[in-house]
Amino acid sequence: MTTTLTPRKPGPLDVQQQLYGQRLPTWLPRAVIGGAVAIAAVLYLVAGLNLVLSALLVLALTLSLPALSVAVEGRRKATDRLVTVLVTSSFVLAMFPLFSILITIISKGAPVLSTQFFTYSMRNVVGEGGGIYHALTGTLLITGAATVISVPIGLFAAIYLVEYADGNRLSRWIRFMVDVMTGIPSIVAGLFAYALFVLFFGEGVRMGIGGSVALSVLMIPVVVRSTEEMLKLVPNELREASYALGVPKWRTVAKVVLPTALAGIVTGITLAIARVIGETAPLLIIAGMTDSMNFNLFDGRMATLPVFAYTSIRNPGIPPEFSIDRAWGAALTLLVIVMLLNLIARLVSHFFSPKGER
């Protein structure tokens, strides 16, 4: 009796395994990270573990993933997973101070916000009550005046550097001075504005327009640099086409170059405003502080939100808790203004940029 053996058919090829070798399950990285976060959260809530130590514990437990990868996937894939863990952890650690600041300011400042807080000043207020109406108005007036001073100077300087300078010696000096001004400490800008106004009004001068001049010193280099980069992005073909039609250079700049770069220019100006609106040192020197309303930039002291928050913490009065609460409310208001300015910059960049760049 003869027995015939039928050969076994080969099973379907595992292409993934042949190409990449053994791999960890796709759910394992998420499970390791989730377990590390859960363990750290339990120790933080139950055992009172420090928040920083909790973050380090999550990082240490997550590093077990590359160790598993060495045993299963090999050294090359384990190195890739290690770098991924380190980069992701660095990003989370970088975001941690930001979220910590946001949570702290919102939790402490939100209970203070009310209609009275935005519509009353601190005139004749001792203890509870009062608001930031005078400081909010001063911030808007001083920053608005600084924008009026800075934008024309920065815009025309950038146009000269890109359209007219042609790399001459003056343009190189202007760029060098702009770079130097970018790194000037804000306190130096305040001292410059104070020294300038002392020449005309004498010692002890305090007025809102001085604060605008100090802020404009900080704004101008940002406006020049951002506008210059935006003008450089305008294709030369547009300029040449305009010249070929016989359009003068100044009209080409006004009607072709500037409208094309408008979105980036407005975004740079908005970010420059957001950069200086929270400055305290120059305004404390030249604009001073007052508890009353002042709508006149050229007469007397003028309150601003950063200086209001500083003085409320520095001299809280008795009882101190009301003044400290108002400082947190002013800080939250200033934070919201800066966030709105950044949002406006994003929207302008999206809706006014050329269609191909959206």
CATH of residue 205:
1.10.3720.10
Instruction: Determine the angle formed by the axes of helices 208-232 and 169-182, rounding to 10 degrees.
Output: 120
Within this chain, do residues 267 and 345 fall inside the same structural domain, yes or no?
A: yes
* CA-CA-CA-CA torsion sign (263, 268, 271, 276): negative
192-218 burial, b for 16+ CB within 10 Å, e for fewer? bbbebbeeeeeeebbbbbbbbbbbbbb
Burial class (CB in 10 A: 0-12, 13-18, 19+), 143: buried
Question: 70 with 204, same domain?
Answer: no
pLDDT for the residue numbered 300? 84
Among 111, 139, 172, residue at a domain's last position? 111
Q: Which of 86, 111, 136 is the last residue of a domain?
A: 111
Handedness of CA 29, 34, 40, 43 (dihedral sign): negative
- What is the token pair recorded at 328? 């947190």
Residue 9 has pLDDT above 70, yes or no: no
- State pLDDT tens for residues 304-325: 999 998 888 888 777 788 888 8
CA distances to 96, 104, 122, 328, 335 from 101, rounded to whole Å, are 9, 5, 27, 12, 10
Q: What is the pLDDT of residues 175-222, one digit of tens each?
A: 899 888 888 888 999 999 999 999 888 888 888 899 999 999 999 999
Assess whether 106 and 123 both reside in one domain. no
Q: Do both 225 and 250 map to the same domain?
A: yes
- The tokens describing 94, both together, are 């970088």
28 inside domain: yes
For residues 43 and 49, the answer to whether their CB atoms sit within 8 Å is yes
Distance of CA 102 to the CA centre of its chain: 13
Question: Does any domain span residue 11?
Answer: no
Count of domains for the chain: 2
Residue-level pLDDT at 169: 86
Model confidence over 90-122: pLDDT tens digits? 887 788 788 888 888 888 888 888 888 888 888
Print the domain residue range for 27: 23-111
User: Is 301 strand, coil or helix?
Assistant: coil
Q: 246 in a domain, yes or no?
A: yes
Query: Does 4 map to a domain?
Result: no
Same domain, 290 and 255: yes
